[in-house]
Structure 1
Amino acid sequence: MRRARPRRRSSARGASPVSRPGARAYSERVDSAGTTNDRDTVINQVTTAPLDLAAHVVAVSTGSCGAVVTFIGQVRDHDPDAAGPVTGLDYSAHPDAGRILSEIVARVSREFPEVNLAVSHRIGHLDVGDLALVAAAASAHRAVAFEACERLVETVKLEVPIWKKQYEVDGSTAWVGLT
């Protein structure tokens, strides 16, 4: 005898695929004029919550997308300038980081109008292996999806005011990645 599968609760129209405390997610894409277009839900957030790659893939995927490109930036256990192994990072952000991230997504979306984008950057304390940055780009074809994802990640890393304090195994700390 087969058991009936429980019904999935449907979310309210426009509800975000991410529903974690502290997460800021945007359920509609907004163009430069402040109006929404017909693209599917995107994730665009600076958050203290753990990042979910699968949610980003779902947010950008549509029936017309033949390619989904993802990027994960995770905390590593070493740094060439560290005296010893790295144990974690504290990410902190300027209060405008979320707004700047949104502006970057809008700009990259204008440059690649055929690509759906999603991106999240985590702040707070992260241990080795934790996800710090997740991005996804989906399009009908892979070349443009790869290009858009790379542009998104590189621009986020360059322009979003997020800093990291590195912790080493000996207890020492250093601010890294400052330019």
Structure 2
Amino acid sequence: MNETLQTIAKRKSCRSYQDKPLDFDTLTIILNAAIQAPSAMNRQLCEAFAITDKMLIDKLANAITYVFNERGETKPEDYHCAYHAPVLVIVSGPEYDSKRIEDGSCMLENIFLAATSLQIGSCWINQLRDTQNVEEVRAVLSEIGIPANHQVIGCAALGYAALDEPSKEKNASRIHII
């Protein structure tokens, strides 16, 4: 199996991170991989916002938790949507772009594969898709610099894994060759 296929097979979700920041060069390599993703008509409208400020990540996580609590979706006391990762990358695109979900998802997949190839743990974070338009969350997104007309596609928590867990078995019965 070649190196690319090995990286794809090794990719897994990481939900426990070391309290160690990613260095600037490593983060830049991962973000540059994101912008290599295909986009509809090569318009390249989606953007990646990498947050390395722990207080800002926590502020966003607290706003999301507040929304869940207000909706009656109680989370455990130690809940943190980004699993206390040292980096949270938010991928968003303009709401007028009908292909933002597809384009942003490709960016996120490149982030996960690049992180895996560099032995960096990663996890897809979905909570912003459902909470981004609530005032408390949108205020933090604005503070981060995400344009008001952008919708969040998804997020990637990034950092050095605290535990080395094996990849989960994949269900090959989902493959159909016709």
TM-score bracket for this pair, using the shorter chain length = 0.3 to 0.5
Q: Which has the higher contact order (CA 8 A, sep 6+)?
A: 2
- Give the TM-score, by structure 1 length: 0.34
Q: Which has the higher helix share?
A: 2
Highest Rg: 1 or 2? 1
Q: Which has the higher strand share?
A: 1
- Give the TM-score, by structure 2 length: 0.34
